[in-house]
Amino acid sequence: MGTLKPDQVFAQLKRYQDELQGAKRLYVGYSGGLDSHVLLHALVSCYPRSTITAIHVNHGLSEQADDWQAHCQSVCNDLQIPLVCRRVEIVKQGKDATASLEAAARRARYRQFETLLGADDVLLLAHHMTDQAETVLFRLLRGAGVKGLSAMSDRRNVGAAKALRPLLSLTRSVLQSYADVNQLQWVEDSSNQNVQYDRNFIRHQIMPLMTQRWPQSETVIARAADHCREAQYLVDQLARSDLATMAVQAVFDKPWLANVIASLSLDKLLLLDDIRVKNVLRYWINSCASRLPSTEQLNSIVKTCCTQAAGAAPFITFAGIECRSYQGRLYLLRSLPSIDPTLTVNSDGCQSIDLPGNGRLAFSRTLGEGIKFGAGQQLEICYRSGGERCCPEGRAHSQKLKKLLQEYGVEPWVRHRIPVLYVDGVIASVIGLWHCSGHTVSSGEEGLSIHWDCPKYHVKNDCPDGSQANMI
């Protein structure tokens, strides 16, 4: 490699030396382009090769993708460091095909990073000041608020590991100079010239005009992002303080609430003015679900769900998440799959039963617990269809099942999902709630116990750079 004198790139790496020296392993996100090649080359010049690994994610979006991967392997061979290559399949989402492609590729990269990195590892990413300025403009044009305009931080978490962006205060021209001095060879993605992509349009059409008029525009825009980040810190502090008064609940003992992420007290929330209500909801939703609604959706949540209307159960859905209100609380939950309301399943009381979209029922024989069920009897499981009546154990009279579910406090959005168990055509148990009079075994008598294992739905953060939050 020759002798290299310290310059701005090395100076930036030195700022992070405590974190870099303390890492178990240093990973570099390496595309083969100018930025990541400069970062990798400089890192190898400063730290032992035995601690460094490059990661190349092959998206397969270009006919040249395999050639780029081969180039990355050749460079790493010359530098005498290992290269981990991961090939991914990109699935576009949303109506905007170009924006979807960029976002899908980003999600795929970060998923690969998360699977590779351990808690003591550090990932280095080659984003620079020019990227930062473009990101701020891109998000501004999407109507971002303070959080979105904070753009990229020089530190963030990727799974259990830490990611650093040590070049964020350097312009691309500085990296170009480094590459020229060190005679680096890198690949050029022709799609980076395609102004059909919003970021490329900003890079090639807007930024040159701005720089021509205001030569320091990149630096000034990056400074504005720093100011927004500081402001967001104070906004988050206020949200945490307000949220602490709202009796947040995150653990639920009802099996049918397995998809609920958290809930909070509406009466405390509604003591705040509208701006602070929105601020708390942004912070709470993002903290719990790694999602944020759009501005329009957030306004709908405040208007529709944040009420004390008796008996009402309004809801708003966004990105696989639902906000619902019921009996003075606001619930945040993962959207459940649909179920077949006409489902009827026969059982012998021995084998477990799958309820499509609604978990599984398991049976066991126990003494002094469960329902009476003997040889020759017929057992069926179905859902409420309307008009059913039953009498919970300990009551003198039967009531409509609809009224009983209300009395037992079953949330409106899951009442139709509660399995009902019939023995010889008569309701013997409403699973997870009660057994019916005349069907419960006595002490010492063998009974059939039913366990409802509700599905637990997990939503991953598909926007690792926080782009979902930029709409607010």
Measured CA to CA, the distance from residue 193 to residue 101 in angstroms comes to 16
Hey, which residues does 140 pair with through a beta bridge?
none
What's the pLDDT score for residue 250?
86
Largest CA distance in the chain: 92
Query: Minimal CA–CA distance to 362: which of 343, 376, 381, 378?
Result: 381
Tally of domains within the chain: 3
Cα–chain center distance at 288: 9
Residue pair 435/428 in contact (Cβ under 8 Å)? The answer is yes
Domain CATH number, residue 145: 3.40.50.620
DSSP-assigned letter for residue 311: T
Measured CA to CA, the distance from residue 454 to residue 435 in angstroms comes to 19
Number of C-beta neighbours around residue 374 at 10 A: 9
* The last residue of a domain, from among 305, 334, 363: 334
| H or E element, residue 265 | strand 260-265
What's the pLDDT score for residue 62?
86
Residue pair 318/297 in contact (Cβ under 8 Å)? The answer is yes
Q: Could you tell me if 383 and 280 lie in one domain?
A: no
Q: Could you tell me if 87 and 188 lie in one domain?
A: yes
Q: First CA to last CA across the chain, in angstroms? A: 47
pLDDT tens by residue, 27-77:
999 999 999 999 999 999 999 999 999 999 999 888 889 999 999 999 999
Q: Could you tell me if 350 and 396 lie in one domain?
A: yes
* The last residue of a domain, from among 308, 334, 360: 334
Q: Could you tell me if 261 and 194 lie in one domain?
A: no
Q: Is the dihedral of CA 253, 240, 321, 57 positive or negative?
A: negative
Any domain includes 339: no
Q: How confident is the model at residue 453 (pLDDT cuts 50, 70, 90)?
A: confident
Q: Could you tell me if 81 and 143 lie in one domain?
A: yes
What's the pLDDT score for residue 455?
67
Any domain includes 227: no
> Which one has a higher pLDDT value, 235 or 313?
235
Mean pLDDT of 439-456: 87
Residue pair 262/332 in contact (Cβ under 8 Å)? The answer is yes
- For residue 105, pLDDT beyond 90: no
Residue pair 129/168 in contact (Cβ under 8 Å)? The answer is yes
Average pLDDT, the chain: 89
Domain CATH number, residue 254: 3.30.465.60
Q: Could you tell me if 267 and 318 lie in one domain?
A: yes
Measured CA to CA, the distance from residue 326 to residue 409 in angstroms comes to 10
Q: Could you tell me if 398 and 263 lie in one domain?
A: no
Across 141-169, b (16+ Cβ under 10 Å) vs e yields eeebbbbbbbbbbbeeebbebbbbbbbbb
> Which one has a higher pLDDT value, 292 or 273?
273
Measured CA to CA, the distance from residue 413 to residue 112 in angstroms comes to 36
Residue pair 25/65 in contact (Cβ under 8 Å)? The answer is no
Q: Could you tell me if 21 and 57 lie in one domain?
A: yes
Q: How confident is the model at residue 1 (pLDDT cuts 50, 70, 90)?
A: very low
Q: Could you tell me if 32 and 162 lie in one domain?
A: yes
* pTM (whole model) above 0.75: yes
Q: Which domain holds residue 298?
A: 244-334
Q: Could you tell me if 330 and 365 lie in one domain?
A: no
Hey, which residues does 156 pair with through a beta bridge?
163
Any domain includes 238: no
3-state DSSP percent of the chain in helix, strand and coil, to 5? 40, 20, 40
Any domain includes 80: yes
Write down the number of H helices and E strands in the chain: 15, 20
pLDDT tens by residue, 149-191:
999 999 999 989 999 999 999 999 999 999 999 999 999 888 7
pLDDT tens by residue, 182-234:
999 999 888 788 888 888 999 999 999 999 999 999 999 999 999 999 999 99
Q: Could you tell me if 56 and 177 lie in one domain?
A: yes
pLDDT tens by residue, 382-399:
999 989 999 999 999 999
Measured CA to CA, the distance from residue 202 to residue 198 in angstroms comes to 6
Instruction: Please tell me the number of Cα atoms within 13 Å of 418 on its side-chain side.
Output: 27
Residue pair 314/305 in contact (Cβ under 8 Å)? The answer is yes
Any domain includes 290: yes
Q: Could you tell me if 330 and 348 lie in one domain?
A: no
